[in-house]
């Protein structure tokens, strides 16, 4: 076997700790790092703003305005290095933004000409419409959406990695093995379909899961301040999904 | 791919947007499996050496790993080694264990097995080294030895003493269950030993989770013992009260040979259902559980305790039922606060003394029995929907339910700041109209401008701005005014807030000169540290030109008005000692001709108090303990409000209090509605069809509530969009007057009111709460106050004192006082004036009137500050 697919080259270039470290000194660098995170995680913010009672149009403007505000040097400098995870930072920042700035902003500029992230109205509302209608608080919705965004990102990346090493077919076949307790019959079936030995399929499933776990931890590591917080973050998201 | 409906691994229902169609939780767990995939394959055998230990014989196997008897060489002794097979980061695990080690080392108790050491095998598998206890699980022991119920309780008390010792040392077990409590004989005496203390902590709760999620089939013990908070949040938020729940399950099992929830049934129901059951379902009382057993099972259970069946049931019924059920409360603040409390009750029971735990009230039990059919409400076509529910209560006198317990908490002041003597550090106002914004300037101190004439910060505005932009086309855009006042809290007033518990926050501010009657305003409070804004509290109020007080009581659990939600409340409590600025802002959203820019505006922040809610101590000494020493809402509020609403503003008289003599007090918790009706209003006033029903478990704290369901489709009618579509729910009740009301004396009065709702609307939707007091002839008083609705349970409480009559919108205070004794009906309504899609008529809306109290204020001599627990 050729071993695991190569790591995504962009994987470790930036993360939340860069923002925390560079915020005081190198605002441009911090802003770039933060922007990259924001582009990935804009939807949880949108969902949160919507659930707080804004109309789609307002929510889009507010989300846009929020990210403009967030990436200002003044805001970057104020980021508390003790504050921990990007996820909770983003939620707190959104909350404060909505509470303190909203009214002022709505008379001044609603996001204005600046656009940090590209929000597609239809896409955003399409996603929002899928949200469970049960009594999810904005905060619950935010966490849940965060986790789903994260997992979708990882699934996509995993698929891309396999595709990059010409293993798209293997991935397509074994993907259900990520969360299933694969029974022996299924291994045999996959083995036949892929023209591999059953043992090799077992190993491949094991590697698929392992790689998923690695990518997951890697991505989470980008959003927390220290590697030690990765476990805690997984647990938090695990619990949040239940709610 | 499109996923199946349920996760093939954990059987949880999959939402339509599940990532890739897979179960998100199972995907997340893959993040834990990386380091352990290889480890799990390693198999130890006897003779293997692990660190300083040689494995001798495998003595157990469970969900978390294998247990070995082992030989330690220095010092030479036999120990038990538990090899953990769960997936965890070994380094972190060991770091946590070492952090915990000091606490573990301090534990020295005959009922606790020592944990000596921890390490990792060459393959990275973590292990614990423990005192070797050769015993059998406590439940097995009791049944083998046919211990009587009393003997079982004696043994149970010893277990409690061990747990209490650990709690005193700051160690929580987190996974107490019979297989972790082994009974061994020492000098012929049965001695229970609790094993695995601190291990779950080192594993950061993962043990419980892990046994729960990955070893469903083989590890029946844990789900049956899992506390609601463990089931709900994994083991992330667990404190000593989780151990108390576990002890409750143990007590239950010792006495009935059954766990409150059958482990096999829990497992058979699937993961989600299991979690729901543990979180929500009320278990049967032990005696009830026994009496529902098949005759043969009951007989054999009783025989194991050397008793006949009816006698055992009688033995359990009453006090032991209460004690067990108090441990098993879903809400942990309703359990015993400490293991000592539990032990004391068991001992009292054994000595035939009264116990502190009380049975749930008649009503509470009634609620659990009665579950009426829900009525589906078919809705007529109406332009505007309002539902008016008239509830008539029977006069039956029953004890208060859940709420009673909660309200019985006394308050320990954590921090209190009186701002009367502090000048704002920042006072800023600006007006805006459409796209234009104008700084309206800062304020200056003006002697005699404040309430009762002390100095106040006063801001004056250039009215021409509003004349230009507001009056010319009122209502056309956002025209309004913002006033922000910031005051340093003075960090010297703040104390350590690291203790866990329930909290409550009182806030008051005052203004004058803002607007004519009944103009709406948004009030926000923000707490700021040097680095950060902690929480913002937002709510609605109505303005007048009079002096008025904006006061707010927030209790933990009612955090609706926190824009940050529960997590923010916790963060707030944890960081309160760092708060250095309190900001009060007042925001008039829509400028109207009623506003009075010609008058100066003064704003005070007057008082802030943060308290911890404490369960009242049991009545002392020889007197019979009163059935429930808890006090109703009103007295609780008054406790806080005396300090807050003192009528003087001079700092030196902060301790001058007004005492309250109750004129009338009515508690509606105990009254059941007799009938109810639904109406619409606006143009076509008529019956809306359908009757709300009483629904068990729909109320706060799991109590029952009147629940109404509406057909939301009516609100999607486009014709409604432009109209003032709204919804109102009202509760009316006969006022059950106290005898001997004398309202002829003049003086200062105060009225306390509280009501609760749930399921009304999405977060922070503005609406109104309206109270009306009716005599047979007229409505003598209407109080109308804006609020923000949420989907959570929320409490609408108002404290109205003579002199601050701003929220009155009809009738008069004088009428109220003069005709109070004629009142025969009190009605409370929540009204959603402007319908929008945040309202949740698909959800049940439940409504309570909580408490009404009318008091006369009389000045009291200056007293020292009350000593609080």
Which uninterrupted H or E stretch holds A39? helix A27-40
Asked if A87 is an interface residue toward chain B (Cβ–Cβ < 8 A), one would say no
State the distance between the two ends of chain A, measured CA to CA, in whole angstroms: 41
CB-neighbour burial class of residue B656 (10 A; exposed 0-12, middle 13-18, buried 19+): middle
* Contact (Cβ atoms closer than 8 angstroms) between residue B220 and residue B263: yes
Range scoring the smallest mean pLDDT among B22-31, B149-158, B296-305, B394-403? B394-403
* Residue to substitute from B6, B24, B426, interface A, most A β-carbons within 10 A: B24
Q: For B39-98, what is each residue's pLDDT tens digit? A: 333 456 778 888 888 888 877 665 456 788 899 887 788 888 887 754 444 566 666 666
CB atoms within 10 A of CB B202: 26
Specify which residues B185 forms β-bridges with.
B190
Specify which residues B50 forms β-bridges with.
B53
Instruction: Give the pLDDT confidence score for residue B308 in this predicted structure.
Output: 85
Which A residues, 27 through 56, put their C-beta within 8 Å of a C-beta on chain B? 51-53
Instruction: Give the pLDDT confidence score for residue A139 in this predicted structure.
Output: 79
- Is residue B406 very low, low, confident or very high in pLDDT (cuts 50, 70, 90)? very low
Give the closest-approach CA distance of A174 to chain B in angstroms. 12
Three-state SS at B830: strand
8 Å CB contact of A179 and B19: no
Three-state SS at B602: strand
Which one of A52, A82, A99 has the shortest CB-CB distance to B763?
Answer: A52
Q: For B556-590, what is each residue's pLDDT tens digit? A: 433 334 444 444 556 666 676 777 777 777 777 66
Which entry of B89, B175, B682, B842 is annotated as an active-site residue?
A: B175
Q: Which residue has the tokens 């509406």?
A: B710
How far is B46 from B58, CA to CA, in rounded Å? Answer: 7
pLDDT (mean) for B310-324: 86
Cα B143 from chain centroid? Answer: 39
How far is B415 from B610, CA to CA, in rounded Å? Answer: 5
How far is B543 from B521, CA to CA, in rounded Å? Answer: 7
C-alpha atoms less than 13 angstroms from C-alpha of B63 in its C-beta half-sphere: 22
Query: Percent of chain B having pLDDT more than 70?
Result: 38
| B373 has a pLDDT exceeding 60 | no
Which one of A148, A180, A239 has the shortest CB-CB distance to B234?
Answer: A239
Tokens of B269: 């129901």
Tokens of A134: 């049960």
Which one of A88, A95, A152 has the shortest CB-CB distance to B20?
Answer: A152
The alpha-helical segments, DSSP class H, found in B515-664 are: 565-575, 633-644
Q: Which residues in B lie closer than 8 A to residue A92 (C-beta atoms)? A: 532, 564, 568
Tokens of B106: 């301090």
Instruction: Give the pLDDT confidence score for residue B682 in this predicted structure.
Output: 37
Cα distances from B405 to residues A25, B472, B614, B704, B850, in angstroms, run 54, 55, 11, 15, 13
Per-residue buried b or exposed e for B371-396, using 16+ beta carbons within 10 Å of the residue's own CB: eeeeeebebeebebbbbbbbbebeee
Selection from B431, B487, B430, B482 nearest residue B456 by Cα: B487
Instruction: Give the pLDDT confidence score for residue B737 in this predicted structure.
Output: 35
8 Å CB contact of B435 and A108: yes
How far is A14 from B532, CA to CA, in rounded Å? Answer: 25
Give the closest-approach CA distance of B809 to chain A in angstroms. 28
Which uninterrupted H or E stretch holds B412? strand B410-418
The alpha-helical segments, DSSP class H, found in B328-369 are: 339-350, 362-369
How far is B741 from B744, CA to CA, in rounded Å? Answer: 9
C-alpha atoms less than 13 angstroms from C-alpha of B594 in its C-beta half-sphere: 17
Q: Choose between B187 and B853: higher pLDDT.
A: B187
- Residue B513 DSSP label: S
Highest mean pLDDT among A116-120, A159-163, B746-750: A159-163
Asked if A226 is an interface residue toward chain B (Cβ–Cβ < 8 A), one would say no
- Residue B469 DSSP label: I
How far is A37 from A26, CA to CA, in rounded Å? Answer: 17
pLDDT (mean) for B696-722: 53
Instruction: Give the pLDDT confidence score for residue B174 in this predicted structure.
Output: 80
- Is residue B760 very low, low, confident or very high in pLDDT (cuts 50, 70, 90)? low
Three-state SS at B767: strand
Asked if A24 is an interface residue toward chain B (Cβ–Cβ < 8 A), one would say no
Give the closest-approach CA distance of A48 to chain B in angstroms. 11
Tokens of B508: 């008051």
Tokens of B254: 């010792």
Cα distances from B780 to residues B271, B771, B776, B809, B816, in angstroms, run 55, 11, 10, 11, 6
Give the closest-approach CA distance of B92 to chain A in angstroms. 7
Q: What is the CA radius of gyration of chain A?
A: 20
How far is A2 from A15, CA to CA, in rounded Å? Answer: 29
Q: For A18-61, what is each residue's pLDDT tens digit? A: 677 666 667 777 777 777 777 778 888 888 887 776 777 777 88
């Amino acid at each position: 076997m050729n071993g695991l697919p190569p790591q995504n080259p962009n994987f470790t270039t930036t993360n939340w700790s860069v923002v925390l470290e560079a915020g005081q000194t190198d605002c441009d660098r911090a802003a770039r790092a933060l922007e990259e995170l924001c582009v990935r995680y804009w939807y949880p913010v949108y969902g949160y703003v919507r659930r707080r009672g804004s109309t789609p149009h307002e929510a889009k403007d507010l989300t846009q305005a929020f990210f403009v505000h967030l990436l200002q040097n003044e805001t970057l400098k104020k980021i508390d290095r003790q504050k921990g995870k990007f996820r909770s930072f983003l939620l707190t920042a959104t909350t404060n933004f909505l509470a303190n700035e909203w009214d002022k902003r709505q008379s001044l500029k609603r996001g204005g000409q600046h656009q940090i992230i590209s929000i597609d109205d239809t896409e955003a509302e399409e996603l929002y419409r899928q949200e469970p209608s049960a009594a999810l608080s904005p905060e619950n919705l935010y966490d849940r959406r965060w986790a789903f965004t994260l997992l979708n990102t990882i699934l996509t990346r995993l698929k891309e990695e396999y595709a990059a090493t010409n293993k798209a077919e293997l991935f397509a076949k074994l993907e259900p093995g990520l969360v299933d307790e694969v029974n022996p019959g299924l291994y045999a079936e996959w083995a036949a379909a892929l023209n591999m030995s059953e043992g090799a399929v077992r190993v491949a499933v094991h590697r698929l899961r392992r790689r998923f776990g690695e990518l997951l931890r890697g991505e989470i590591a980008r959003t927390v301040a220290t590697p030690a917080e990765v476990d805690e973050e997984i647990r938090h998201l695990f619990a949040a999904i239940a709610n | 791919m499109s996923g199946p409906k349920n996760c093939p691994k954990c059987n949880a229902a999959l939402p339509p947007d599940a990532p890739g169609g897979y179960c998100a939780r199972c995907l997340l767990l893959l993040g834990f499996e990386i380091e352990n995939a290889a480890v799990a394959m390693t198999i130890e055998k006897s003779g293997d050496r692990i660190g300083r230990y040689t494995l001798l014989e495998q003595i157990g196997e469970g969900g978390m790993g294998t247990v070995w008897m082992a030989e330690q060489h220095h010092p030479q002794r036999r120990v038990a080694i538990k090899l953990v097979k769960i997936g965890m980061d070994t380094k972190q695990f060991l770091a946590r264990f070492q952090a915990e080690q000091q606490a573990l080392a301090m534990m020295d108790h005959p009922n606790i097995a020592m944990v000596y050491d921890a390490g990792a095998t060459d393959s990275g598998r973590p292990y614990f080294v423990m005192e070797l206890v050769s015993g059998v699980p406590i439940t097995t022991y009791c049944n083998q030895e046919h211990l009587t119920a009393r003997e079982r309780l004696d043994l149970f008390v010893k277990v409690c003493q061990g747990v209490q010792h650990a709690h005193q040392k700051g160690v929580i077990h987190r996974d107490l269950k019979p297989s972790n409590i082994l009974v061994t004989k020492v000098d012929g005496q049965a001695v229970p030993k609790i094993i695995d203390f601190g291990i779950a902590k080192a594993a950061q709760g993962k043990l419980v989770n892990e046994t729960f999620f990955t070893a469903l089939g083989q590890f029946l013990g844990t789900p049956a013992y899992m506390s609601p908070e463990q089931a709900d949040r994994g083991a992330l938020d667990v404190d000593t009260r989780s151990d108390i729940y576990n002890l409750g399950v143990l007590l239950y099992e010792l006495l009935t040979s059954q766990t409150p929830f059958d482990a096999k049934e829990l497992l058979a129901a699937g993961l989600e259902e299991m979690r729901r059951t543990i979180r929500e379902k009320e278990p049967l009382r032990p005696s009830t559980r026994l009496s529902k057993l098949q005759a043969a099972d009951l007989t054999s259970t009783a025989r194991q305790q050397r008793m006949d069946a009816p006698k055992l049931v009688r033995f359990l019924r009453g006090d032991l039922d209460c004690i067990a059920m108090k441990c098993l409360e879903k809400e942990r603040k309703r359990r015993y606060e400490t293991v000592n409390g539990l032990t004391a009750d068991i001992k009292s029971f054994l000595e035939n003394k009264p116990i502190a735990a009380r049975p749930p009230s008649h009503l509470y039990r009634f609620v659990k029995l009665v579950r009426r059919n829900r009525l589906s409400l078919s809705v007529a076509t109406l332009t505007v929907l309002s539902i008016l529910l008239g509830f008539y209560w029977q006069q039956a006198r029953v004890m208060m339910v859940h709420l009673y317990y909660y309200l019985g908490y006394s308050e320990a002041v954590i921090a209190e700041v009186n701002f009367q003597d502090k000048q704002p550090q920042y006072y800023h106002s600006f007006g805006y109209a459409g796209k234009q914004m104008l700084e309206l300037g800062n304020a200056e101190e003006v002697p005699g401008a404040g309430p009762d004439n002390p100095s106040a910060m006063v801001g004056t505005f250039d009215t021409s701005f509003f004349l230009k932009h507001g009056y010319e086309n009122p209502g056309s855009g956002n025209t309004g005014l913002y006033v922000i006042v910031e005051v340093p809290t003075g960090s010297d007033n703040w104390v350590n807030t690291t203790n866990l518990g329930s909290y409550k926050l009182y806030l008051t501010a005052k203004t004058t000169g803002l607007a004519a009657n009944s103009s709406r305003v948004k009030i926000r409070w923000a707490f700021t540290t040097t680095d950060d804004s902690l929480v913002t509290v937002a709510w609605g109020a109505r303005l007048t030109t009079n002096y008025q007080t904006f006061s707010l009581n927030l209790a933990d659990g009612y955090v609706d008005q926190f824009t940050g939600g529960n997590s923010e409340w916790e963060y707030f409590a944890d960081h309160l000692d760092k708060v250095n600025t309190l900001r009060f802002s007042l925001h008039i959203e829509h400028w109207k001709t009623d506003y009075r820019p010609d008058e100066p505006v003064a704003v005070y922040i007057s008082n802030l108090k943060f308290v911890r809610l404490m369960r009242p101590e049991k009545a002392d000494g020889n007197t019979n303990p009163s059935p429930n020493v808890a006090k109703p809402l009103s007295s609780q509020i008054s406790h806080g409000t005396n300090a807050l609403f003192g009528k003087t503003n001079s700092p030196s008289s902060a301790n001058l209090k007004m005492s309250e003599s109750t004129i009338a007090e009515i508690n509606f918790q105990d009254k059941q509605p007799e009938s109810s009706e639904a109406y619409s209003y606006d143009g076509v006033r008529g019956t809306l069809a359908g009757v709300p029903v009483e629904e068990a478990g729909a109320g706060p704290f799991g109590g029952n509530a009147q629940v109404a369901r509406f057909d939301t489709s009516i609100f999607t009618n486009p014709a409604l969009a432009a109209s003032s579509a709204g919804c109102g729910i009202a509760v009316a009740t006969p006022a059950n007057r106290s005898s001997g009301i004398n309202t002829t004396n003049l003086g200062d009065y105060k009225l306390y009111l509280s009501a609760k709702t749930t399921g009304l609307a999405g977060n922070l939707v503005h609406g109104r709460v309206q109270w009306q007091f009716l005599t047979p002839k007229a409505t003598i008083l209407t109080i109308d106050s804006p609020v923000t609705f949420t989907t959570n349970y929320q409490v609408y409480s108002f404290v109205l004192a003579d002199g601050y009559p701003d929220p009155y919108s009809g009738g008069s205070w004088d009428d109220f006082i003069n005709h109070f004794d004629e009142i025969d009906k009190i009605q409370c309504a929540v009204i959603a004036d402007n319908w929008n899609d945040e309202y949740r008529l698909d959800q049940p809306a439940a409504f309570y009137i909580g408490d009404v109290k009318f008091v006369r204020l009389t000045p009291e001599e200056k007293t020292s500050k009350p000593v609080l627990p």
